[in-house]
Amino acid sequence: MIRLVAMMLLLALPSWAQPPESRLALLRHGVNITGWFRYPVSRVPVALARWMTDAAMADLHRAGFGFVRLAMDPAVLESPGVLDVAVAAVCRLQRQGLAVVVDAHTEGWYLETSAMDRARLHDFWRTMASALRRCEPNLTFPEILNEPVFPVDTAGWAALQHAILSDIRVALPDSTIVLTGQDWGSIRGLLALTRETDPNVVYSFHFYDPPELTSLAAYRANLDRAALARLPFPVTDRMACEATATANPATADLMRYYCGMGWNQAAIGQRIEAAASWARNNRVALLAGEFGASSALNPAARMVWLSTVRQALEASGIGWALWGYDDIMGFAVPRPPVARPVLDDNVLQALGLSRVR
């Protein structure tokens, strides 16, 4: 009897199967398109429709990218005609062989405290999920929210994410949906997350460690960015690292902090392994939805950091997306792009991808 009860309990447990391997394979190598439907230079539908050419999209696929993560500000899509242009962009990218992660990239919303903003997110996804039915479902990956904050409210974010997941499932029952943890989508937020019972999902985190190097400490004002741009990676000699000259005391202190942390390939690997271990323990698929380093950083450190992170992710079986196509943390293609932008060969090499000619 005890054995029978145990078997019945096991059968009652939800399946933790992952999405089909063919679909996960699409998410191995990606790039974020950051400024098309987020801070657009124009909200005129005709101008937005021409923002990126089919040739530029095809070049991404030719370089070895399997998907793009398309940042969409819901407020931008509220402008007349823009939603249709955005969905048409998703379908166009798919016709060029690219899967598309449709990222709800809100600006100035306070989901932790504002019932109105939470209602706006529900409304956005009910509308967007229905509209995305025009595109190829196997190539469409809705992402519920970019970098949710909820700093001390893990349960609050989990409840909202679950509710939005249910909204999307009504219109897109077969699409793979991208979930994330709070704390700005960090690894720490991922580790605090409880997996969903829905098996057709992928979990995402963002990686910019250490920000003193990758963003030149953009989180602080009045620093000597030129000095920070000379920081090395990896740090092999602390004294040599600290010797980079600056007359700015706050910058000098921050540089000593960075150099003392001893950032190298092993340190990067340890951070990423924490995420990979969580995924293995929960038997779920994982995606690094953003990583990148400022083009103002010295090229030697930048390329080694990009290559190190990319290789660590791939060694753990984690798909990735560079931030971004049209952002200084990635390829720095101008907004809007020219008809067929040239992709930086050094960045492509660091990503293990092919030159496009």
- Domains in the chain and their CATH numbers? 20-209+264-350 (3.20.20.80), 220-262 (no CATH)
Please provide the DSSP assignment of 285-353 as one string: EEEEEEE---TTS-HHHHHHHHHHHHHHHHHTT-EEEES-TTSTTTT---SS--SSPPPPHHHHHHTT-
Distance CA 125, CA 141 (A): 13
pLDDT at site 245: 75
Over residues 253-296, the pLDDT tens digits come to 999 999 999 999 999 999 999 999 999 999 999 999 999 999 99
Listed in sequence order, the residues at least 6 apart from 140 whose beta carbon sits closer than 8 Å to its beta carbon are 90, 94, 99, 100, 102, 132, 172, 175
pLDDT at site 152: 87
Predicted TM-score of the model (pTM): 0.93
pLDDT at site 16: 58
Over residues 109-137, the pLDDT tens digits come to 999 999 999 999 999 999 999 999 999 99
pLDDT at site 323: 98
pLDDT at site 14: 47
Alpha helices (H) along the chain: 2-12, 21-25, 45-49, 54-63, 74-77, 82-95, 115-131, 154-171, 182-185, 187-191, 211-214, 225-228, 238-242, 249-261, 265-282, 299-315, 345-350
pLDDT at site 12: 40
Residue segments in the chain with a per-residue pLDDT below the cut of 70: 1-17
